[in-house]
A and B are shown apart, each in its own frame.
Chain A
């Protein structure tokens, strides 16, 4: 048995070392199983659609384009293990991912070892690009803008002063909640409480705190993911607490309505970096193809993943041409991707020196009472550069 195992490993290693001359693979990394699979699948399918549509073009250039999806399970350990497998496959020249900043940050350091380019459709933590890795780019916005955008809307438009802030203790949720709090306090508002919780079923202690909090909070801000906020809202409303609720893009999934119940979810505000199909006139046709092919509605992260994949493909095409129609190196692809300027579904995509999109879009949304995610009201779109970008 052992000998066979060694033989298999040897053959596999040989195959990896050589690679195939005319195959180019693009990997996706996102949670495809577990609690956040609904969001992660959008990333995979969005990228898949873009790659399917570009296959013919790359065939003409002499390359077979293949998508290899990896499941990072929203878990940093799994993400890094996958990243090590990805860099050992020399045919993989680009990565679309991840969903979670906490996974993207350590994984992207693995990609950086071999200059493998990553374009993120969804990671909003500032540290993703603030490390200035030459291979890491994102087309979506950042938490240090998303949080403040939410705080400004709450303070200026909803006229809210006292906010009860909850977060999920992850790099994403806590980071977002902290940015929200900072701006709120700068504007003159007050964080009545700042509570972290990993709880997934019994939110009663926190709800009791909200009921007993003085001054009475006029808004609850929850930096976290729908899987936690959904049951929280259900229990909150069942217990008769009517305080308005706001969250970040972790709330941006139709699953939220199912878990919270549509009457409880209705009216919830959320900021998102991945706007809905309705916010992008150009996305309509793509969303129809998406629905036709996969039988599912295209949601925000699907659109962004589609764009992220196209950014990599545009860079790849430029790199192939620069390399004289030969397969480019990973470094060449990474450099070319950083130079890309294109019109995507989501608007102009162009990276600054850190890898942030020069002008990212932020959306303020409100959950509809119909229970249909696509009915959610787009309140406003804000276009803003990343802080400190040149």
Chain B
């Protein structure tokens, strides 16, 4: 048994990393919005899905015209990010801001709104795709340049070109975001609004603009993650965002919600846990518990971690705002 586990281990860690980066990128959207508004933006999983759908459509329509696979992917990533970012801004503008302006203090109201927006976006995409192509399952078009594969470490790891692209793009985006938040004016403004919205506005920061930018950044990250997800796992439906969304949200909480490096770490940990138990549960339990229990075990571990560290892995205990 041990031999069997060890033989697969490098592959499992590698695959877990891929999944982890997807969760990390989506988790950032949750954590940033939570940071500035203390709102759990459940519609973010649909922003992710919209990115994936845009990716599929770009590949469908541009693949015959763009010879270079990498250029095509770049176009898909940019368009996916832009469309998802704009959708996120629109959602904020028309669903959350009016509530904020009316001074709703009940936290449940925006939360329920977010869930509602999530359903609306799902069925809107389903409706549009239904009319456009009469397709429920959207399949990512295969482009030769991106389909290569290599075996590393004497066949211990089977890796696809697109997996490396996924990791590379994610790392770039994560580094870029860290730079943006820590070293730029916009980053300072975002952090200021996150710390104290009303004081920040006294310092000459327009909170609405900053909140809108936050949604744009989180949304585009989600959209890019969606395109990469579609490239990796190939079949997309209007409801595909739900599970990765919930898991990315969990990752954000695990890392300490509101904390950007925490969200990345949480995503990577969750990806590893899920893939590890998905692969090994049947082997470890002699076939009594199948892959279907992977989430149960992964979430049990999460509950345990949160019992020990309620603030999350990298979160700090924050005193209630006065």
Contacts and interface: CB of A to CB of B under 8 A. Distances in A.
A197 B234 contact: no
Contacts of A169: 292
Contacts of B160: 238-239
A34 interface: yes
B200 to A, nearest CB: 40
Contacts of B11: 208, 211
Interface in A294-351: none
A194 interface: yes
Interface string A172-201: 000000000000000000000111111111
Interface stretch (A255-263, A268-276, A359-367): A255-263
Contacts of B147: 238
Contact of B279 (A209, A231, A239): A209
Query: B-side binding surface: helix, strand, loop or mixed?
Result: helix
Contacts of B229: 201
Nearest to B5: A212
A204 interface: yes
A261 B235 contact: no
Contacts, number: 90
Given A193-B282, A238-B147, A259-B137, A204 B292 contact: no
Nearest to B233: A201
Contact of B292 (A33, A196, A202, A209): A196
B7 interface: yes
B15 A200 contact: no
Nearest to A169: B292
Given A193-B282, A205-B294, A212 B233 contact: no
A214 B4 contact: yes
Interface size band for B: 20 to 34
A209 B282 contact: yes
A235 interface: yes
B290 A194 contact: yes
B12 A208 contact: yes
B291 A209 contact: yes
Nearest to A227: B137
Contact of A205 (B142, B149, B236, B275): B275
B137 A202 contact: no
A281 interface: no
A190 to B, nearest CB: 12
A133 interface: no
Contacts of A204: 15, 18-19, 275, 278
A197 B290 contact: yes
B191 interface: no
Contacts of B120: none
A28 to B, nearest CB: 19
A169 B283 CA distance: 19
A200 B136 contact: no
Contact of B142 (A235, A239, A261): A261
A171 interface: no
Contacts of A211: 8, 11
A262 to B, nearest CB: 11
Nearest to B3: A214
Contacts of A231: 233-235
Interface string B4-36: 100110011001001100000000000000000
Contacts of B235: 200-201, 230-231, 234, 259
Contact of A255 (B19, B137, B236, B237): B137
Nearest to B244: A201
B158 interface: yes
Nearest to A168: B292
10 contacts: A198-B292, A201-B229, A201-B233, A204-B275, A205-B15, A208-B12, A208-B15, A209-B279, A238-B149, A239-B160
Interface of A: 33-35, 37, 169, 193-202, 204-206, 208-209, 211-212, 214, 227, 230-231, 234-235, 238-240, 255, 258-259, 261
Interface of B: 4, 7-8, 11-12, 15, 18-19, 136-137, 139, 142, 147, 149, 158, 160, 229, 233-237, 240, 274-275, 278-279, 282-283, 287, 290-292, 294
> Which A-B residue pairs are the 6 nearest by beta carbons?
A205-B278, A231-B235, A201-B233, A212-B8, A205-B279, A195-B290
Given A205-B278, A211-B11, A259-B139, 6 more contacts: A194-B290, A195-B291, A202-B233, A208-B15, A258-B137, A259-B137
